[in-house]
Amino acid sequence: MPTRLVFRCEFCRREATGDAERSLVAQLQDLRAGEYSDADDWLVWHGRGIWGPTRYACAEHRIALRDEIRKHYGTLGWHPHARVLGDVPPVVRQQMAEQAPKRRLTARQRRLMRARQAGAGGPSFI
C-alpha cells in the first residue's frame, strides 16, 4: 500500500508542498535534539527527548513556533533560546557567519606576547 508523508504547520494546518516538502522529508533522518533548523521557508523544531516532539511551522508562523517553544521548554536549557532561525532570516544568518568578529586579547595576553617577542623569556603560553 503506497504511503505519503504529510507535513502541516502547527498553527494554520497548511501543508508543505514542492521544495519545502522535499526539505522536510530530508530532515526526517536528522538526529538533532532540542534545535531549530530551516527547511526552505519552514521552521522545524527538532524536539526529541525532554524537548517534546518535532514540530513544523510555515513561513508565516515561524515566530509563533519559536515563541511557543521558548515558553514551554525555555527552562530546560539554552537550546530554545538560541538566536537562530526563528529570529534571523537565512540570508542574514549566512552573512553573520562570514563576518565573525575577531577575538580580542586581554591586557595580560598582550603583555605576555610582547615579552615573548622581545625575548624576555616569560611563559610560553598565553
Q: Does residue 8 sit within a domain?
A: no
Task: Give the total number of structural domains in the chain.
Answer: 1
Q: Does residue 95 sit within a domain?
A: yes
Q: Does residue 104 sit within a domain?
A: yes
The torsion region of residue 77 among left (phi > 0), alpha (psi -120 to 50) and beta comes to: left
Q: Does residue 11 sit within a domain?
A: no
How far is CA 74 from each of CA 66, 70, 118, 123, rounded to the nearest angstrom? 10, 4, 50, 43
Q: Does residue 4 sit within a domain?
A: no
pTM to 2 decimals? 0.61
Q: Does residue 25 sit within a domain?
A: yes
pLDDT tens per residue, the chain (126 residues)? Answer: 888 899 999 999 999 988 999 999 988 888 888 888 888 889 998 888 888 899 999 989 988 998 898 888 877 766 666 655 455 555 666 676 676 666 677 888 888 888 888 875 555 554
**Domain ranges, residue 94:** 18-117
Which of 35, 49, 43, 50 lies closest to 7 in space, CA to CA? 43
